[in-house]
Amino acid sequence: MGKKYLVEYDRDGCIGAAACVAVQPDQWTMVDDGKADLKDSKKEGKNWFKEIDESELEKYKDAAESCPVTVIKIFEKDTKKRII
């Protein structure tokens, strides 16, 4: 079984650049308030979280790296070590 990761998204900090949507349109979508939504994520506190596995990691890394305001972070689920 592969590693699990957590994608953390600070939606309040999103500026609506839509870079994440351009890179990964199957997981990110722009909504009426001009910000992106991370599909199938859950809100905890002020941020949104989604568990992914190793097969999805590269695409989420691409989305995180494309964000001009770095509101997308990725952590190893077990160790909480930040990947991006």
The residue type of 74 is I
The predicted model scores a pTM of 0.94
Q: What is the mean pLDDT of residues 52-77?
A: 97
Residue that has been written with the tokens 């699990």 in this structure = 4
- What domains lie within the chain, and their CATH numbers? 4-76 (3.30.70.20)
pLDDT band at 1 (very low <50, low <70, confident <90, very high): low
Residue 44 makes CB contacts below 8 A (sequence gap 6+) with none
Backbone angles phi, psi at 25, to 5 degrees: -65, -20
Mean pLDDT of 65-71: 98
Beta partners for residue 9, in sequence order: 48, 72
pLDDT at 72 exceeding the cut of 70? yes
pLDDT tens for 9-51 read 999 999 999 999 999 999 999 999 999 999 999 999 999 999 9
pLDDT score for 2: 86
What pLDDT does 29 receive?
98
d(CA 40, CA 78): 21
DSSP state of 15: -
CA 65 to mean position of chain CA atoms: 10
